[in-house]
Homo-oligomer: A and B are copies of this chain.
Amino acid sequence: MSSSHSSNGFAKHAIAVDVVLFTIQAGTLKVLLVKRQQPPYRGAWALPGGIVGPEESVDDAALRELQEETNIGNIYLEQLYTFGEPNRDPRGRVITVSYYALVNWQQFQLKARQRVSQADWFPVKRLPELAFDHRRIVDYALERLRNKLNYTTIGFQLLPKEFTLTELQGAYEVILSQRLDKRNFRRKMLQLNILEGTKEFKVNGRQRPARLYTFTEPKVVKLQEKGIIVPF
C-alpha cells in the first residue's frame, strides 16, 4: 500500500525529494548520481534524495539529503518540479519534489554515507540507465538550467570566487553545448556591471596571464531588466 488515512481523514502519501546537482569538471557538464543499495532498482544509479521527514520542510529535506551524501552545505537549491503520478515508484505511491543546483568542482568533496555505497559524477551527455523516472528529471533540470542561464547569473555558481572571463565563457559554452563569440561575450558580461576586475592575474602556463574577476552581487541576479543575455 502506498497511501493511508489518518485520524483527520486525509489521504497521506510518501514524499521524496530528488536533487539534480550539476558541476563542470574537465570541460564537461556532469551530474551527481548515487548507486542504490536497496531494491527497487538495486544497483542502478539514481539522483541523490530521499524521503521527507515528518517535521522538516521539503526544502530542508532536499538540503539534508544532499549534505548526507556530499560535504556541500550552504548551497542554493532551486525547486524544479513536483512529479505526482501514482506509478512512479514500484513500491507504491511516492510523490517527489525535485530540485537542482550548481556547485563549483574545486570546492567540492564527496563523502560516502549510509545507504549510499557509491556516488559519482556522470557527464549529462552519457548518463547510465537511471532508476525510477530520474532520467526525465535530469532532462527537465537541464532544460531549465539552460533557460535560466539566459536571464540570470545562476551560472556563476559553477565558478570559484575569482575567475577569468574565459572560464566564465567556458561554463556557458559547456551548459549550452554551443560555442560563443569571445568579443561579444566579454562585452555583454562587462556591460551588465556585475563583475569587478581584480588586480590579480591567473597564470595559466606559458601564455599571457588572464585577469581575475569577482561577481559583485551578493546573490544570483535576474537580468531581464538589464537585458537578456542570450543568444549571444
Number of interface residues of A (CB under 8 A): 37
* Complex alpha-carbon distance, A6 and B52, angstroms: 14
Q: What secondary structure prevails in chain A residues at the interface with B?
A: loop
Cβ 8 A contact of A86, one of B10, B56, B86: B56
A58 at the interface (CB under 8 A from B): yes
Q: Residues 152-191 of chain A: 1 if any B CB is under 8 Å from the residue's CB, otherwise 0?
A: 0000000000000000000000000000000000000000
A115 at the interface (CB under 8 A from B): no
Q: Which of A19-27, A88-96, A102-110, A125-133 contacts B (4 or more CB under 8 A)?
A: A88-96
Cβ 8 A contact of A8, one of B57, B58, B91: B91
Interface centre among A12, A13, A14, A86 (most CB of B within 10 A): A12
* Complex alpha-carbon distance, A14 and B15, angstroms: 9
B59 touching A84, Cβ below 8 Å? yes
Closest to A53 in B: B11
* Complex alpha-carbon distance, A93 and B10, angstroms: 11
* Complex alpha-carbon distance, A15 and B97, angstroms: 12
A81 touching B84, Cβ below 8 Å? no
B3 touching A55, Cβ below 8 Å? yes
* Complex alpha-carbon distance, A6 and B12, angstroms: 10
B11 touching A14, Cβ below 8 Å? yes
CB distance from A100 to the nearest CB of B (A): 14
A85 touching B57, Cβ below 8 Å? yes
Which residues of chain B are within 8 angstroms of A124 by Cβ–Cβ distance?
none
Closest to A5 in B: B54
